[in-house]
Structure 1
Amino acid sequence: MSNLRAWLAEKSSEEEEHFLGEVPRLWLEGGQVNKLCCLLTDFDFIEAKINHPQFGVLALIEDYDLIEDAELLTHPEYDSKIVEALKLIQGALRLSAHILIQDTKELAGQLSGRLLYFDAPEIQGLLQQISQTKTTCLRTLTASLTPPSGSLLRTLTGHNDWVNAVAVTPDGKYAISGSDDDTLKVWDLRSGKQKFTFTGHSSKVNAVAITSDSKYAISGSDDKTLKVWDLESWEELCTLNGHSDWVNAVTVTPDSKYAISGSDDKTLKVWHLHSGEELCTISGHSSRVNVVAVTSDGKYIISGSGDIFSSSSDNTLKVWDLQSWEELRTLTGHNYAVNAITVTPNGKYVISGSSDDTLKVWDLESWEELCTLSGHSNWVNAVAVTPNGKYVISGSSDDTLKVWDLHSGKEKFTLSGHSDWVNAVAVTPNGKYVISGSSDDTLKVWDLYSGKQKFILTEDSSKINAVAVTPNSKYVISGSSDDTLKVWDLYSGKQKFILTEDNFNINGVAVSFDNEYVISGLSDAPLKVWDLQSWENLCDHTHHLNWVKAVAITPNGEYVIFNLDDNTLKVWDFYSGKQKFTLTDHSSKVNAVAVTPDREYVISGSYDCTLKVWNSQSWEELCTLEGHGSTVNTVAVTPDSKYVISGSYDCTLKVWDLHSGKEKFTLSGHRDSVNAAALAPDGRYVVSGSSDDTLKVWDLHSRKKIASFTGESAIRCCAVAPDGVTIVAGEASGRLHFLRLEGMEA
């Protein structure tokens, strides 16, 4: 299949469509198993199918299901190892589907980042093909993305804001999510496709419940209403009005007759679902009601309360009789708000999650607390239990899910992959899969029984705040919030040294042009100077610095320029370690600093939304560059010293003419803050990293994006190697991505 691309180019559109769509199935039916396996490991076929308007990545993923055909198991050409490799490729495509739907040019980077872990000949052959692609793209050089052998199966994207709630239909076909974008979305759990969007709420959707017959969904919103939706006609049936404040929680009785809601107005309300009538209001909590559950026998309502930021609020669970609607008892023990409640299928236990970072297990017969589950490092926002009652799954503001053995009370493992709070958790009826909703605007689907991740993706979970490449192209130096500098071999991607700091975040890193020294800037600590030959700390430049975030060295190595938390820039003599000048004209903190290659100017970017240009001889301010609508996070200068590129919290990059002080043009395309910018040595393109998890490459002549790579959390820093095609980027998750810009001349 090595000539597939050329062969397809000679075919008519009908012939190409027939080949891409029908041939995989026809080959299997014709017993051509080896041909099918070769096709599914051919990069040209994969690329052609996801780029074809009639197919795309989801259709391609379905092709790999052909290898699970029952008749294949007895076929003489069946090879279990080849099939295992094909399933890994399918898994990598499934993990990347939400990205490839938006940008098919990310195929090379996504596949290589997920498959470089594996040694199977079929996978190594595919990777070799990827490295020869002619498409302009960013290809990962090291295994730095979640592999397809772990618990994470796929990511569902489509919401434009936090996902607050998720529920699975009892037939296991669909997941329904509610979001701060005021909508509910219905997802097909088999294909991962978005099936429908419910619009009608005028504010955030906080809660979703589904009737036991899978016919109706009920949602609760900040617009103080509940809405009932028909899951067959996809229409809104009615609106339930009555609460005087936000509706935070909703549940449905096992017989699907009644819905119970909880609100910021401190009450619960019981609604008749057929008539839409409010049957009663239940009062008793002294703080907002955050969560409501009903026992499996339909006898009891259990509610949780508390103000998130107050230890003196209600912070209790209350048990109510569903027939008389009277309070039966109050369960106390949590120190902060109760955010989540679930009841085990056998009706024996209640599990609650709280802003005190714990879960508690309560006995429904004695109403006593049995145990506390501790392990999360932030609020527990969501709790679910598997249908067999063995495991509890919790979601937290520490961005993780944890799986607990309910019998022993011990944590089994942690599911990491979200880049923000986990607000919602649901388990499919067969108990195999967990669906989580997060403040990162996504849902993720996890295989509960695949076990712990088989690969460690990073040394730790600390944010990488700064990255620099040595001018001789040998090393990458990264600084992170785990208080260390790490030295990496640029071309192997392997870690060489760890330079331990003194329990302070490293926010800035600069390398001298003679390749002799590295200077690191820390929070509330001295600047440190490191010898690039011995890797020893040579000296601390001062003991009175605070929150150094930006560091630059003049090309001649004479001065070090860095920011302080007092809105100033300091200029230090590198060799004497003495302060020479203080630059004071910014009205807020300075985030970034750069020096022009011709050594004439220093440019700084600030929280005050401006850049300032300083003369490096007189150290006077020459001009202010105004135009960004928010904080300036990063500054870079073209090699010819003519232009400055700035990145901002306003999601844009701006290109400025340094001579005139005027803005030339704006690069728009990021969906969140631009945190980092780095220029190619020849000045042809600029690379930007953003909190939207993407790294983008922009052609400065055409003013267009030419390549993009999506990581798994915010990109906080990036650097371009002297070869002009090797790029290094650091994530908030702690991942360091080594990438190659393909389709560009070195």
Structure 2
Amino acid sequence: MKLAGLKSIENAHDESVWAATWIPATETRPALLMTGSLDETVKLWKPDELTLERTNTGHCLGVVSVAAHPSGSIAASASLDSFVRVFDVDSNASIATLEAPPSEVWQMKFDPKGTTLAVAGGGSASVQLWDTEKWKLIATLSIPRQEGPKPTDKNSSKKFVLSVAWSPDGKRVACGSMDGTISVFDVARAKFLHHLEGHFMPVRSLVYSPADPRVLFSASDDAHVHMYDAEGKSMIAALSGHASWVLSVDASPDGAAIATGSSDKTVRLWDLGMRAAVQTMSNHVDQVWGVTFRPPGGPGPRAGRLASVSDDKSLSLYDYS
């Protein structure tokens, strides 16, 4: 497996680009790449030539997370302005505006069926689940405090939730916190199951393997990527190679690889069979906040694609084969 650089857009946004995800293809158009930036905008890009399809405004502070509904017709953006904006991809019409108090949204993901939006609730130390039909809050998954010798008020800030991921069967939600813990929840029962341990610094990004609903990957400021059996509560492997914080991780659709982005300015491709980095891409000149694999399916070329975004304002596209 390997990555080959296809194209980079140097000033894709006016400020740092902190978020990127693919909007799945529909019957009428191919997949689109969506990016969110501290310049307060969300941009939609055509997938192969990286030409700008549209710029969406509507936030009054930087955009920190973007999420795409599995149907490809709806997307959401979360901003430091305390709002989540849900919109129609093709018309940009607003569908819903979800209020979130300051620092209460750091990352969002739609579940595999598209019925629920999970919002990592920052300082509230919880994940909120929103119904995507009526846009009502249906559950708040709160992280319980771990037993310790002396519980203090200082602990609450360490549970600040930075990342969230759904298992491919939609039965589990995992979230990563500032203190390095990962919490796993049973969605149907809205019940906390257990913590996954091993990181000691913030867990910035999480993704389940598309090939195995038990396997979870985590990216942390401790410069490591961990591979867990999220059901068995055990670490399968710790992958090292980055020289600094690992800010993002995504799994390839074939389940054979993961890609990571780091504050060491590199994107790395990891072979899960070898459990090692097999390639390092140095397209960016500042920290890499997002890496995202293109989902399979849809009209047009179906080649594997990976995109990365960075504090250097740029957007890079790679061929994955």
Alignment TM class, shorter chain as reference: 0.7 to 0.9
| Residue of 188, 195, 216 corresponding to 1:330 | 195
Segments of 5+ residues of structure 2 without an aligned counterpart are: 145-155, 297-302
In structure 1, how many angstroms separate the alpha carbons of the residues matched to 2:121 and 2:263?
21
| Residue of 352, 358, 361 corresponding to 2:218 | 352
User: Once the two structures are aligned, what percentage of the paired residues are identical?
Assistant: 29
In the TM superposition, what are the counterparts of 1:42-81 in structure 2 within 5 Å?
none
CA drift of 1:191 comes to: 2.7
In the TM superposition, what are the counterparts of 1:273-672 in structure 2 within 5 Å?
273-284=132-143, 286=156, 287-306=159-178, 314-346=179-211, 347-430=213-296, 432-449=304-321
- The C-alpha deviation readout for 1:608-632, integer Å capped at 9, x for no partner, is xxxxxxxxxxxxxxxxxxxxxxxxx
Query: Which residue of structure 2 lines up, in the alignment, with residue 154 of structure 1?
Result: 7
- The C-alpha deviation readout for 1:276-308, integer Å capped at 9, x for no partner, is 2111222216421100011010100000000xx
CA drift of 1:421 comes to: 0.4
Residue 68 of structure 2 contacts residue 74 of structure 2 at CA under 8 Å; is this kept in 1? yes
Segments of 5+ residues of structure 1 without an aligned counterpart are: 1-149, 307-313, 450-746
Query: Which residue of structure 1 lines up, in the alignment, with residue 152 of structure 2?
Result: none
Q: TM-score, normalised by structure 2?
A: 0.88
| Residue of 206, 210, 215 corresponding to 2:73 | 215
Residue 126 of structure 2 contacts residue 143 of structure 2 at CA under 8 Å; is this kept in 1? yes
In structure 1, how many angstroms separate the alpha carbons of the residues matched to 2:100 and 2:136?
10
In the TM superposition, what are the counterparts of 1:106-255 in structure 2 within 5 Å?
151-156=4-9, 157-171=11-25, 173-255=31-113
In structure 1, how many angstroms separate the alpha carbons of the residues matched to 2:283 and 2:49?
20
Residue 80 of structure 2 contacts residue 102 of structure 2 at CA under 8 Å; is this kept in 1? no
- The C-alpha deviation readout for 1:497-541, integer Å capped at 9, x for no partner, is xxxxxxxxxxxxxxxxxxxxxxxxxxxxxxxxxxxxxxxxxxxxx
Residue 243 of structure 1 contacts residue 263 of structure 1 at CA under 8 Å; is this kept in 2? no
- The C-alpha deviation readout for 1:139-183, integer Å capped at 9, x for no partner, is xxxxxxxxxxx8211113331111111111222521000111111
Name whichever structure is richer in helix by fraction. 1
In structure 2, how many angstroms separate the alpha carbons of the residues matched to 1:190 and 1:405?
24
**Change beyond 3 A, Cα 1:322–1:341:** same
In structure 2, how many angstroms separate the alpha carbons of the residues matched to 1:441 and 1:246?
25
CA drift of 1:219 comes to: 1.4
The letter for the 1-side match of 2:160 is R
CA drift of 1:244 comes to: 4.4
The letter for the 2-side match of 1:337 is P
CA drift of 1:190 comes to: 2.4
In structure 2, how many angstroms separate the alpha carbons of the residues matched to 1:158 and 1:424?
14
In structure 1, how many angstroms separate the alpha carbons of the residues matched to 2:92 and 2:223?
38
- The C-alpha deviation readout for 1:628-685, integer Å capped at 9, x for no partner, is xxxxxxxxxxxxxxxxxxxxxxxxxxxxxxxxxxxxxxxxxxxxxxxxxxxxxxxxxx
Q: Secondary structure at the match of 1:412?
A: strand
The letter for the 1-side match of 2:270 is W
In structure 2, how many angstroms separate the alpha carbons of the residues matched to 1:333 and 1:298?
24
In structure 2, how many angstroms separate the alpha carbons of the residues matched to 1:212 and 1:283?
26
- The C-alpha deviation readout for 1:187-210, integer Å capped at 9, x for no partner, is 011232111111111111111111
Residue 259 of structure 1 contacts residue 271 of structure 1 at CA under 8 Å; is this kept in 2? yes
The letter for the 2-side match of 1:416 is S
Query: Which residue of structure 2 lines up, in the alignment, with residue 712 of structure 1?
Result: none
- The C-alpha deviation readout for 1:692-735, integer Å capped at 9, x for no partner, is xxxxxxxxxxxxxxxxxxxxxxxxxxxxxxxxxxxxxxxxxxxx
Query: Which residue of structure 2 lines up, in the alignment, with residue 733 of structure 1?
Result: none
**Change beyond 3 A, Cα 1:243–1:268:** farther
Q: Secondary structure at the match of 1:441?
A: coil
The letter for the 2-side match of 1:424 is G
CA drift of 1:374 comes to: 0.2
Name whichever structure is richer in strand by fraction. 2
Residue 221 of structure 1 contacts residue 246 of structure 1 at CA under 8 Å; is this kept in 2? no
In structure 1, how many angstroms separate the alpha carbons of the residues matched to 2:180 and 2:18?
20
Q: Secondary structure at the match of 1:408?
A: coil
Instruction: Confirm or deny that 1:268 pairs with 2:127.
Output: yes
CA drift of 1:360 comes to: 0.2
The letter for the 2-side match of 1:338 is V
Q: Secondary structure at the match of 1:191?
A: coil
The number of equivalent residue pairs is 293
Residue 210 of structure 2 contacts residue 253 of structure 2 at CA under 8 Å; is this kept in 1? yes
In structure 2, how many angstroms separate the alpha carbons of the residues matched to 1:368 and 1:243?
34
The letter for the 2-side match of 1:400 is T
In structure 1, how many angstroms separate the alpha carbons of the residues matched to 2:34 and 2:320?
19
Query: Which residue of structure 2 lines up, in the alignment, with residue 505 of structure 1?
Result: none
Structural RMSD (CA)? 1.4
CA drift of 1:263 comes to: 2.7
In structure 2, how many angstroms separate the alpha carbons of the residues matched to 1:383 and 1:319?
18
In structure 2, how many angstroms separate the alpha carbons of the residues matched to 1:245 and 1:365?
30
**Change beyond 3 A, Cα 1:184–1:259:** same
Q: Secondary structure at the match of 2:106?
A: strand
Residue 223 of structure 1 contacts residue 246 of structure 1 at CA under 8 Å; is this kept in 2? no
In structure 2, how many angstroms separate the alpha carbons of the residues matched to 1:238 and 1:280?
18
The letter for the 1-side match of 2:233 is W
CA drift of 1:365 comes to: 3.5
**Change beyond 3 A, Cα 1:243–1:267:** farther
In structure 1, how many angstroms separate the alpha carbons of the residues matched to 2:81 and 2:311?
20
